[in-house]
Amino acid sequence: MLTGAIRLALFAPIVLSLSTQGLRIPGLSLLFDAVDIAVTAHDRTLLTEQIALTNEVPFDALRDENIDLGYGATLDLINANAAWVPAPSNGKTNFAPALAAHRGRLYSVYADPADGRLHYSTGDNVAWDQFTISLNNEYAQDGPALADLHGTLHLVFPDKISGMLVHLHVGEWSPDSGWRSFHKLGNESTAGTLSLYTDATATTLFLLFAANSTDRKIVEMSSRSVNGVWSHVTPPDESTAFGTAATNFRDTAMMAFPSNDGQSQVCVSFYDPGLKHWLPHEPIVGEFSSHAPAIAVLDGVVNVIFPLRNSVTVFRVTRNLLSWPLDSWMNHLNSNLYMSQLSLPGTHDSGSVTSIPYTETQFLSITQQLDAGIRVFDLRCGLIRDVLWMVHGDAPIFTTLQQLLHEMYNWLLSANHQGEALVVSIKQDADTHFSNIEFDQAVYEVLQLGEQKQYWVTNATIPQLGQVRGKIQLLRRYSAGYNTTTSTDYRIGIDASGWPNNTPLGNITIPGVGTLWIEDHYNYDDVSDFADVVANKTGYVEAALAFAVFGGVPNNWHISFTTASNFPYHQPSGIALGGVNLVYPFEYVVGVNFNLVAYIIPMLRPGASAI
């Protein structure tokens, strides 16, 4: 086992975070598909708070699904000193609005104060869009509830006509396709607003609502599938004047509700995963509401919106849950650390933000990925008429490499981001067409000619963090040569041109530097059993994690892709998030991303220090 202090930053849609105890994975980079679609599993909170670890735990013990994190294991990670801050909001309603994070945006659904018709709006942690859209002419008797499960946005609301709870769900907000699967939740009803949230691994959907009785005690139910059976679970020991709102964060959950004491003060309660029950609520001082609030977490910031008491104006407060923002987490690391000593967040085929089937791998733009803490970018290009275009295989993305890189340059220019360090892998994925120059020269000219040269670290050695702050380290996955005519050496960056293809664990020796250890087994085309695909790929990634801990040395750099191809059965997002197996009995299979969430969460308990 490794000894001594190791600092790390694991990431994206595994979406975990820690500050005082955790796992140790030196020099590992994980690259994900659908980095944002797992957003609500942990509200896009990444493993960003760096720690020094000394305790060791057995590898096999951490595979036990029943391990508790212990009291305060998650609550201690939340920034208790942060204050609630008023922020701009949008819309009017007589009922409580619903709020959820979905595909890198905040989504709010609320009932029109005139007739109860449902509308929705999108926004971020700063502001809302300046328009709303009617939601398929649905009408609510009270406030609705929203939650994301496996990248599908769910809505539950009390129907205005029948008074019963109605459950709808949709995978993508679209006025064209609309909502689907309109059905009731048994004979349940409520006298107030209800709320939805998921567990840490996004395998279970939870519903909270006030009982339709005089004591207005909170009731809780759960379901493990889209159209599955709902059953009652142990609820929080609270009562509410108007209803509830809830969301998850890491492996805990938060519930917001107005007190049932005649004051209707807005309160928040946390679920403790160690004690396995809800903790007593804390009030948001000075804030009172005429209805239940709505709550969601985006990039480590919790947002609570609610109509002010005796008013239809929607008010908003926010609170940072992390000690520092996700967009500047590297600022807090020692500059003397080598990049190979960090586990860095990354995305596979980072520029493939497209609607083309089997080509889309990401839902977030490059800027959104950067803001979410991503620091490793896998860029695939093709050279056409002397211009480098982003591609996925042979499929064009209709964005040039230069356009995409300028998005990174502009982000790095911000004062908040000049302490961040990026790694960009460039690979030729499509053949060259109608060009007078070779691929290596084209990349050299884009990176090294003009003002853009200042942003690049192109040495062949593994740098220290301080050498890359405000810059980009090139990881070169294409072959390059020396131009004797112009005396120009196109062999820039760390040479990864010998990248092993489709292997569970391969390596590239960099003379005088060290070794790149690579897990990149991706080809599952024509494998019809989806469960086998996910299980096999998950196993390879877990093995890579274990090897990085127990088989690593300081000059090793470990890279693992959590992604795979399963054409024509499932798209990249399906492998990442899960989907229905096309082999009998056609059961739902949880995706690789959520398997890794379940695998890593036990390592966050106090005393855990290794996989």
- Least trusted range by pLDDT, from 51-55, 138-142, 236-240, 451-455: 51-55
Q: Which of 275, 304, 320 is the last residue of a domain?
A: 320
* 195 shares a domain with 89: yes
Region 417-445 average pLDDT: 98
* 290 shares a domain with 144: yes
Question: The domain spanning residue 521 has which CATH number?
Answer: 3.20.20.190
pLDDT in tens, 472-515: 999 999 999 999 999 999 999 999 999 999 999 999 998 777 89
Return the pLDDT at 556. Answer: 87
Region 304-316 average pLDDT: 85
Alpha-carbon span 343 to 407, nearest angstrom: 24
pLDDT in tens, 460-471: 999 999 999 999
User: Is residue 366 predicted with pLDDT exceeding 90?
Assistant: yes
Residue 293 lies in a domain: yes
- Least trusted range by pLDDT, from 26-40, 364-378, 399-413: 26-40
**Number of domains the chain contains:** 2
Alpha-carbon span 332 to 13, nearest angstrom: 22
At position 140, the amino acid (one-letter code) is A
pTM for the model: 0.74
Residue 13 makes CB contacts below 8 A (sequence gap 6+) with 32, 34, 35, 36, 37, 38, 39, 41, 44, 576, 593
Residue 573 makes CB contacts below 8 A (sequence gap 6+) with 33, 34, 37, 151, 360, 361, 363
Alpha-carbon span 88 to 565, nearest angstrom: 42
Region 151-166 average pLDDT: 82
Residue 291 lies in a domain: yes
Q: CB of 582 within 8 A of CB of 364?
A: no
* 490 shares a domain with 510: yes
Q: What is the mean pLDDT of the chain?
A: 80
Return the pLDDT at 4. Answer: 24
Return the pLDDT at 147. Answer: 83
Q: How far is CA 457 from each of CA 419, 480, 493, rounded to the nearest angstrom?
A: 15, 17, 7
Region 173-198 average pLDDT: 73
- Give the model's confidence band at 5: pLDDT under 50 very low, under 70 low, under 90 confident, else very high: very low
Q: 559 is written with which tokens? A: 């890279």
Q: Could you tell me which residue, 380 or 314, shows the higher pLDDT?
A: 380
pLDDT in tens, 220-278: 999 876 556 788 999 999 999 988 989 988 778 999 999 999 999 999 999 988 888 99
User: Is residue 611 predicted with pLDDT exceeding 90?
Assistant: no
Return the pLDDT at 498. Answer: 95
Q: Could you tell me which residue, 21 or 486, shows the higher pLDDT?
A: 486
* 86 shares a domain with 50: no
At position 254, the amino acid (one-letter code) is M
In which order are the strands placed within the sheet that holds 85-86?
Answer: 85-86, 314-320, 301-307, 294-298
User: Is residue 24 predicted with pLDDT exceeding 60?
Assistant: no
Q: Which of 284, 303, 320 is the last residue of a domain?
A: 320
User: Is residue 160 predicted with pLDDT exceeding 80?
Assistant: yes
Q: Which of 320, 354, 387 is the last residue of a domain?
A: 320
* 151 shares a domain with 49: no
Residue 418 lies in a domain: yes
pLDDT in tens, 341-363: 887 989 999 999 876 777 888 88
* 215 shares a domain with 330: no
Residue 5 lies in a domain: no
Backbone CA torsion sign across 137, 106, 211, 200: positive
Residue 4 lies in a domain: no
Per mean pLDDT, which of 191-195, 296-300, 387-391 is the most reliable?
A: 387-391
Return the pLDDT at 145. Answer: 85
Using alpha carbons, select from 54, 52, 11 the residue that is nearest to residue 35. Answer: 11
Return the pLDDT at 355. Answer: 67
* 485 shares a domain with 457: yes
Q: Could you tell me which residue, 111 or 18, shows the higher pLDDT?
A: 111
Strands 472-476 and 395-400: unpaired
Return the pLDDT at 36. Answer: 38
User: Is residue 89 predicted with pLDDT exceeding 50?
Assistant: yes
Residue 394 lies in a domain: yes
Radius of gyration of the chain (CA): 25
Return the pLDDT at 33. Answer: 64
Domain encompassing residue 249:
79-320
* 161 shares a domain with 175: yes
Return the pLDDT at 421. Answer: 98
Percent of the chain at pLDDT above 70?
80
Return the pLDDT at 192. Answer: 82
* 106 shares a domain with 61: no
Per mean pLDDT, which of 100-109, 242-251, 594-603 is the most reliable?
A: 242-251
Return the pLDDT at 13. Answer: 26
* 237 shares a domain with 100: yes
Q: 316 is written with which tokens? A: 């908003």
